[in-house]
């Protein structure tokens, strides 16, 4: 559908694209000067994404070096001809990017562009490139922490403890800033952190799946289709914990990241997505000082970050920063860390009602016992009845944990009061969408 809105001075062409598969609308507004504005409305994304595009500006950049070639994205170093500055350019690899890819790409620019902190790579502009777009960023002559760690391990060395602590302090500061801006990154990992090899300054990149929602619920998805990186995924991001995602999901991923930097290995090893999901949900990670000798306090900080439920993690980035700094300063001064109680300065600045279920232990027990029986080969039907809003779904969702452990499937369907004419509709729904 396309129509032209004309007013005496401004002539705009507005085209509305409706995609069948996505509940999203995209509006393209082309002004007379040829600048293109696109507004995306999406239920799946952050609600509203807006970006302004300078058409044809990619020709202003001369690519000099490829920095990263991923399966979906390409990051290059380029010289901007207009001012001869070196910039980093991130673009999509696919020649015909899908609607989803474009939306995600734009999402990261919209969120990243608004942020201004020395610990974040500044996003300068979004330019048109082929059928997609490219993000022009500040060139921080650093390399990713993943590469940096690999180089260190290849040289048969470990990163010095003080260096990891200083990286941790910087990341805690960045997470504090993101918390203030109400942004959840959702994909903290060494590959998304750049480090300057000389100054050791770190910067966070990649807001590809970042969110502006204060709280999100991950719907149940097949583990192959989960957003984020399986090895660093907070339990609530698996969609199987009956818990919402908030800023504390980033603390978990930071815990895994610090674990990896300190020991050179990940806290969990798994062979397939379901196993990863199960590890994050149910397996206790080892303590870092079981693998590499180090002060107990450092190990406890990392362990606290990786707590399964968000209530047991740090509640504020400043509380975390204080503990890391205490360890760092003591190590620098005396070479050891005096025992101290961690989490003393950890005060949450928000009011959060925990997702924990209260007073449903007996009902959950009945369900879990039935699950254990059917896992041994029986079949049973359970009925959960109650008024609307009383908490039936919340109780039923508690079976996700044992199901993941047993590698079972959870399917669901709902008889909809407005869809009464379709026979057996809930069964059809359940069988078609398998998780």
Ligand X SMILES: Nc1ncnc2c1ncn2[C@@H]1O[C@H](COP(=O)(O)OP(=O)(O)O)[C@@H](O)[C@H]1O
Measure the CA–CA gap between 255 and 189, rounded to whole angstroms. Answer: 10
From the list 134, 132, 113, 133, the residue with the least C-alpha distance to 124 is 113
Angle subtended by helix axes 317-334 and 161-180, to nearest 10: 160
Q: Return d(Cα 124, Cα 88) in angstroms, integer.
A: 10
Cβ proximity to ligand X, 191 vs 337, nearer residue: 191
Tell me the C-alpha distance between 321 and 170, whole Å. Answer: 8
Helices (H), 52-144: 99-114
Q: Which is nearer to ligand X, 231 or 274 (CB)?
A: 231
Instruction: Answer with the entry of Mg ion, ligand X, none that 88 interacts with (C-beta below 5 to 8 A by kind).
Output: ligand X
Alpha helices in 126-242 (DSSP H): 145-154, 161-180
Cα separation values, 78 from 85, 139, 379, Å? 8, 9, 62
Cβ atoms within 10 Å of 286's Cβ, excluding its own: 15
Residue number, 206 or 297, with CB nearest to ligand X: 206
The answer to whether residue 206 forms part of the interface with Mg ion (CB under 5 A) is yes
Member of 58, 78, 88, 307 binding ligand X (CB under 6 A): 88
DSSP 224: G
- Among Mg ion, ligand X, none, residue 85 binds (CB under 5-8 Å by kind): none
3-class secondary structure, 263: helix
Only one of the segments 108-116, 203-211, 386-394, 423-431 lies at the binding site for Mg ion (rule: CB under 5 A); that segment is 203-211
Task: Check residue 323 for interaction with Mg ion (CB under 5 A).
Answer: no
Let me know: does 262 contact 298? Beta carbons within 8 Å: yes
The footprint of ligand X on residues 197-216 (CB under 6 A) is: 205-206, 208
108 in contact with Mg ion (CB under 5 A)? no
Q: Does 192 engage in binding with Mg ion (CB under 5 A)?
A: yes
Q: Whose Cβ is closer to ligand X: residue 139's or residue 355's?
A: 139
99 belongs to the binding site for ligand X (CB under 6 A): no
Q: How close are the terminal C-alpha atoms of the chain, in Å?
A: 36
Pairing outcome for strands 24-30 and 36-42: antiparallel
> Quick one: which segment of 20-28, 188-196, 281-289, 393-401 binds Mg ion (CB under 5 A)?
188-196
Composition of the chain by helix, strand, coil, percent to 5: 35, 20, 45
171 closest CA partner among 123, 125, 133, 118: 118
The 10 Å Cβ neighbour count of residue 360 is 14
Q: Of the listed pieces 41-49, 175-183, 192-200, 217-225, which binds Mg ion according to CB under 5 A?
A: 192-200
Residue 68 interacts with ligand X (CB under 6 A)? yes
Tokens 């001064």 -> residue: 333
Residue 302 binding: pick among Mg ion, ligand X, none (C-beta 5-8 Å cut-off by kind) = none
The residues, ordered by sequence, that sit 6+ positions from 182 with a Cβ below 8 Å of its Cβ are 212, 214
| Residue 59: count of CB within 10 angstroms of its CB | 10
Distance of CA 397 to the CA centre of its chain: 22
Pick the closer one to ligand X by CB: 208 or 285. 208
- Interacting partner of 144 out of ligand X, Mg ion, none (Cβ under 5 to 8 A depending on kind): ligand X
Interacting partner of 234 out of Mg ion, ligand X, none (Cβ under 5 to 8 A depending on kind): none
Number of residues that bind ligand X (CB under 6 A): 19
Q: Which does 67 bind (CB under 5 to 8 A by kind): Mg ion, ligand X, none?
A: ligand X
Residue 305 interacting entry, from Mg ion, ligand X, none, C-beta within 5 to 8 Å by type: none
What's the min distance (Å) between Cβ of 189 and Mg ion?
8
Q: What does 99 bind: Mg ion, ligand X, none (CB cut-off 5 to 8 Å by kind)?
A: none
Among 121, 183, 254, 317, binds ligand X (CB under 6 A): 121
Q: With contact defined as beta carbons under 8 Å apart, do 285 and 259 qualify?
A: yes
Q: Which does 319 bind (CB under 5 to 8 A by kind): ligand X, Mg ion, none?
A: none
Q: Please tell me whether residue 192 binds ligand X under the rule CB under 6 A.
A: yes
By the rule CB under 6 A, 139 interacts with ligand X: yes
Count of residues touching Mg ion (by CB under 5 A): 2
Q: Closest approach of Cβ 144 to ligand X, in Å?
A: 4
The separation between CA 415 and the C-alpha centre of its own chain, rounded to angstroms, equals: 33
Which segment (64-72, 217-225, 305-313, 346-354) binds ligand X by CB under 6 A?
64-72
* Residue choice 115, 136, 159, 194 for contact with ligand X (CB under 6 A): 194
What residues line the site for ligand X (CB under 6 A)? Answer: 67-68, 70, 72-73, 75, 88, 90, 121, 137, 139-140, 144, 191-192, 194, 205-206, 208
């Amino acid at each position: 559908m396309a129509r032209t809105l004309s007013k005496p001075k401004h002539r705009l062409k507005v085209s509305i694209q409706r995609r069948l598969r996505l509940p999203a609308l995209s509006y393209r507004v082309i002004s007379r000067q040829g600048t293109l504005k696109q507004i995306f409305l999406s239920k799946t994304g952050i609600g509203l994404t807006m970006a302004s595009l300078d058409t044809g500006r990619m020709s202003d950049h001369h690519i000099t070096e490829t920095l990263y070639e991923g399966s979906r994205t390409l990051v290059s170093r380029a010289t901007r001809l207009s001012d001869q500055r070196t910039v980093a350019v991130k673009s999509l690899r696919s020649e015909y990017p899908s609607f989803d890819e474009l939306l995600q790409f734009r999402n990261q620019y919209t969120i990243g562009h608004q942020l201004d902190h020395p610990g974040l790579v500044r996003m300068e502009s979004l330019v048109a490139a082929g059928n997609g777009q490219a993000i022009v960023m500040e060139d921080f002559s650093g390399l990713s922490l993943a590469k940096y760690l690999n180089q260190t391990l290849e040289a048969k060395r470990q990163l010095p403890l003080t260096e990891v602590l200083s990286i941790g302090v910087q990341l805690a500061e960045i997470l504090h800033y993101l918390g203030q801006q109400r942004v959840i990154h959702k994909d903290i990992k060494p590959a998304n952190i750049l480090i300057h090899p000389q100054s050791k300054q770190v910067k966070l990149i990649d807001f590809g799946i970042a969110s502006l929602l204060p709280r999100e619920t991950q719907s149940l998805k097949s583990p192959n289709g989960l957003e984020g990186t399986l090895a660093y995924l907070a339990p609530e991001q698996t969609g199987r914990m009956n818990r919402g995602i908030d800023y504390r999901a980033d603390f978990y991923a930071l815990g895994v990241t610090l674990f990896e930097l300190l020991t050179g290995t990940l806290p969990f090893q798994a062979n397939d997505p379901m196993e990863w999901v199960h590890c994050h949900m149910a397996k206790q990670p080892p303590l870092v000082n079981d693998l590499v000798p180090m002060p107990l306090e450092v190990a406890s900080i990392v362990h606290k970050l990786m707590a399964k439920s968000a209530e047991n993690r740090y509640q504020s980035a400043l509380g975390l920063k204080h503990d890391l700094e205490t360890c760092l300063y003591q190590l620098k001064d005396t070479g050891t860390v005096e025992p101290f109680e961690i989490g003393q300065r950890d005060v949450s600045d928000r009011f959060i009602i925990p997702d924990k279920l209260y007073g449903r232990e007996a009902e959950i027990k009945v369900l879990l016992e039935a699950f254990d029986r059917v896992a041994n080969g029986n079949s049973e039907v359970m009925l959960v009845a109650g008024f609307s809003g009383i908490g039936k779904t919340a109780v039923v969702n508690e079976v996700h944990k044992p199901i993941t452990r047993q590698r079972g499937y959870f399917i669901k369907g709902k008889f909809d009061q407005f869809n009464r004419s379709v026979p057996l509709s809930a069964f059809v729904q359940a069988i078609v969408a398998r998780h």
